[in-house]
Amino acid sequence: MTARQKSHAAGLMRVNHAGEVAAQALYKGHATVARDANIEQQMQHAAAEESDHLAWCEQRIQELGEEPSRLSPVWYAGAYAIGTVSGILGDKWSLGFIAETERQVCEHLDSHLDGLPAEDARSRAIVEQMRDEEAEHGEKAMQAGAAELPAPVKSLMRLTAKIMTKAAYWV
């Protein structure tokens, strides 16, 4: 890859890493306030898988010669708060938040697959595996009784993700 391609791939993987930091915190926040022990266990299991994704992204960023976002503590704290607050509303809303998050994440990861250099097979393999597992998390949330979130909440989630994505690409 050219230096520019490597830098772009690293930026995309930094965004993915930031997303995994947030996802891990989101699941832990939901698990903290889950009312049903099965839902709590599902959230903890998903958080553990997000830890794997986090490690894959961090390793790939380093292989590309760059560092993860310096804003990771912000992503974690914000996502944990969002997970806890939305989880307080009840398990069906918590699951709905997870289902919508994972749906948006899958769209986001598909866009990264479109944007990654064709020569970067390693990053592509990581992103594809993450996308498949995120889709599975969303499906499990739906099967467990996720509520459909109101359109304004979905829009706010998309806006928040856009801000995070732009910041994490560069910082």
Protein fold of 3-170: Ferritin (1.20.1260)
Q: For position 133, what pLDDT does the model report? A: 92
**Per-residue pLDDT tens over the stretch 91-127:** 999 999 999 999 999 999 999 999 999 999 999 999 9
**Per-residue pLDDT tens over the stretch 28-68:** 999 999 999 999 998 898 888 888 899 999 999 999 999 99
Q: For position 4, what pLDDT does the model report? A: 94
**Per-residue pLDDT tens over the stretch 135-168:** 999 999 999 999 999 999 999 999 999 999 999 9
DSSP readout, the chain?
Answer: --HHHHHHHHHHHHHHHHHHHHHHHHHHHHHHH-SSHHHHHHHHHHHHHHHHHHHHHHHHHHHTT----TTHHHHHHHHHHHHHHHHHT-HHHHHHHHHHHHHHHHHHHHHHHHHS-TT-HHHHHHHHHHHHHHHHHHHHHHHTTPPPPPHHHHHHHHHHHHHHHHHHHH-
Q: For position 51, what pLDDT does the model report? A: 87
- Domain range annotation of the chain: 3-170
**Per-residue pLDDT tens over the stretch 48-59:** 888 889 999 999
